[in-house]
């Protein structure tokens, strides 16, 4: 079992120790599951209560949070740093290092066409299929079951996890990770309805993935009809995301699971979409805007704004709507009371009117 002293860990993350520097740590754990032999981290005051029921051996946190820990809840050692999460991630890799990269070269059981070009230091695993006119850069990993269609271009340091499918003419930049069973370059969902039937529209564009993109498992990105569908540099796409034909995604976007883009959607840089957000065709998402989970977007979203709900509205407006919905039972009760009072007042008015009419007749 790997162990490390608090002093050794503090040196790695350049932190200041309060408490027992010689304490031996056996593992890393989240705060709500930590034990006396673990090290964990605290980055928010709202999680201070977890220290009442969980006693980690060591805690990484910021100085201002350390001051708020009650004496009876203080771990044996606290390491003070500016960014607790960043420091903890360094410690995490010490206890749980990444598995070393394989060095198998090109497996005899992989299927490579004669006109395939493969760079230096690549691993092409058993069962991968590489078609004609494919270029693969240096230090790439092509895992079992991957299919790379004709005309594809793959940059350096690219990882294609098992069963990824690249249809013909997909372009992949450098340092790209594509997770298992993602499909890039399938035809877009485009048809013309003529004479009682759907006729397929040909899609002759491609897909272009720029540098430093990561694409989640089972995500699908369709090819364009004329031009390429584009995923901008540094964008991160979660599992089971659908990006339709002709979309042009900006740089450093982030999309959570099950987000869906209809055809010809464009985005600026630094756009964020919560899980299951849906964006209608030909919509533009402005630079730096954010969409909450399950947001339904049917028109352009201005830059930097946050929109929620179905249909999407600005966050401030959506909060007012939610508050109104919460008050609906109370409003319903008040309306019934008002209806009852109105009925009573109407009866009284009718009685007064009848009495007045009778008095007028007697006077006449």
CATH of the domain at 48: 3.40.1390.10
* Interval 257-286: pLDDT, tens: 999 999 999 999 999 999 999 999 999 999
Q: Would 103 be classed as within a structural domain? A: no
* 45-59, 227-241, 260-274, 326-340: the lowest-pLDDT one: 326-340
Q: What local confidence, expressed as pLDDT, does residue 319 receive?
A: 77
Judgement on whether residues 179 and 234 belong to the same structural domain of the protein = yes
Q: Is residue 132 part of a domain?
A: no
72 φ/ψ sector (left φ>0, alpha ψ -120 to 50, else beta): alpha
Contact status, residue 252 vs residue 232, Cβ threshold 8 Å: yes
Entry pTM? 0.86
**Contact (CB, 8 A) for 55 and 38:** no
Residue 324 is predicted with a pLDDT of 75
- Predicted confidence at residue 330, as pLDDT, reads 83
Q: Tell me, yes or no, whether 140 lies in a domain.
A: no
pLDDT band at residue 364 under the 50/70/90 scheme: low
- Token couple for 186: 């399938």
User: Is 80 exceeded by the pLDDT of residue 248?
Assistant: yes
Q: Could you give the percent of the chain with pLDDT greater than 90?
A: 83
62 to each of 118, 207, 306, how far by Cα in Å? 48, 44, 30
What does the mean pLDDT of the chain come to?
94
Q: Per the domain annotation, does 141 fall within a domain?
A: no
User: What DSSP character marks residue 189?
Assistant: S
Judge if 177 and 282 occupy the same domain.
yes
Give the burial class of 170: count Cβ atoms within 10 A of its Cβ; 0-12 exposed, 13-18 middle, 19 or more buried.
buried
Of 179, 203, 245, 307, catalytic: 245
Q: How many domains does the chain have?
A: 3
DSSP string, 255-292: E-TT-EE-TT-EE-TT-EE-TT-EE-TT-EEPTT-EE-
CA distance 233 to 211: 5
Contacts of 16 (CB under 8 A, 6+ apart): 10, 79, 80, 81
Residue 116 is assigned to a structural domain of this protein: no
| pLDDT, tens digit (0-9, with 9 covering 90-100), for 90-115 | 999 999 999 999 899 999 999 999 88
Residue 209 and residue 284 share a domain: yes
12: domain range? 4-95
Q: Is residue 67 part of a domain?
A: yes
**pLDDT reported for residue 134:** 97
In a domain, 133, yes or no: no
Lowest mean pLDDT among 53-62, 190-199, 332-341: 332-341
Q: Which of 139-148, 218-227, 323-332 has the lowest mean pLDDT?
A: 323-332
Residue-level pLDDT at 185: 98
Whether residue 358 is found in the same domain as residue 237: no
Report pLDDT digits (tens) over 345-363.
888 888 888 877 777 777 7
Give yes or no: residues 332 and 300 share one domain: no
Verify that 20 and 38 share a domain, yes or no.
yes
Given 64, 95, 126, which residue is the final one in a domain?
95
| Residue after which a domain boundary falls, among 43, 69, 95 | 95
Q: Is 203 a catalytic site residue? A: no
106 located within any domain: no
pLDDT, tens digit, 9 for 90 and up, residues 164-194: 999 999 999 999 999 999 999 999 999 999 9
Residues 263 and 185 in one domain: yes
Same domain flag for 189 and 212: yes
pLDDT band at 220 (very low <50, low <70, confident <90, very high): very high
Q: How confident is the model at residue 1 (pLDDT cuts 50, 70, 90)?
A: confident
Tell me, yes or no, whether 273 and 360 share the same domain. no
- Pair 275, 335 in one domain: no
Q: Mean pLDDT across the stretch 137-149?
A: 98
Q: What is the CATH number of the domain that holds 243?
A: 2.160.10.10
Can you give the pLDDT at residue 297? 97
Q: Which residues contact 219 (CB under 8 A, 6 or more apart)?
A: 179, 182, 183, 237, 238, 239, 240, 241, 242, 243
Residues 233 and 267 both lie in one domain: yes
Indicate if 302 and 173 belong to the same structural domain: yes
């Amino acid at each position: 079992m790997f162990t490390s002293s608090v002093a050794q860990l503090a040196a790695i993350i350049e932190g200041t120790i309060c408490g027992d520097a010689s304490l031996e740590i056996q593992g890393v754990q989240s705060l709500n599951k930590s034990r006396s032999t673990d090290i964990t981290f605290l980055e928010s005051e709202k999680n201070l209560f977890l220290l009442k029921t969980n006693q980690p051996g060591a805690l990484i946190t910021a100085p201002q949070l350390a001051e708020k820990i009650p004496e009876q809840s203080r771990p044996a050692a606290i390491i003070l740093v500016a960014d607790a999460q960043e420091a903890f991630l360094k410690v995490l890799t010490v206890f749980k290092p990444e598995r070393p990269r394989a060095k198998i070269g090109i497996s005899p059981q992989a299927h490579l066409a004669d006109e395939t070009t493969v760079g230096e230091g690549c691993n092409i695993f058993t069962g991968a299929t590489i078609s004609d006119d494919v270029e693969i850069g240096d230090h790439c990993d092509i895992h079992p079951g991957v299919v790379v269609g004709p005309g594809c271009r793959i940059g350096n340091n690219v990882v294609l996890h098992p069963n990824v499918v690249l249809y013909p003419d997909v372009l992949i930049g450098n340092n790209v990770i594509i997770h298992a069973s993602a499909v890039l370059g399938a035809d877009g969902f485009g048809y013309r309805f003529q004479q009682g039937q759907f006729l397929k529209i040909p899609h002759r564009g491609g897909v272009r993935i720029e540098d430093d993109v990561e694409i989640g498992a089972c995500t699908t990105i369709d090819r364009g009809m004329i031009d390429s569908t584009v995923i901008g540099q540094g964008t991160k796409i979660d599992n089971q995301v659908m990006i339709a034909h002709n979309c042009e995604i900006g740089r450093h976007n982030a999309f959570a699971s099950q987000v869906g883009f209809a055809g010809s959607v464009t985005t600026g840089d630094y756009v964020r979409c919560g899980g299951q957000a849906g964006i209608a065709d030909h919509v533009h998402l402005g630079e730096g805007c954010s969409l909450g989970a399950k947001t339904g977007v049917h028109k352009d979203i201005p830059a930097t704004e946050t929109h929620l709900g179905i249909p999407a509205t600005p966050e401030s407006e959506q909060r007012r709507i939610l508050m109104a919905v919460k008050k609906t039972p109370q409003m319903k009760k008040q309306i019934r009371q008002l209806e009852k009072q109105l009925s009573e007042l109407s009866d009284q008015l009718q009685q007064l009117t009848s009495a007045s009419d009778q008095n007028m007749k007697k006077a006449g």
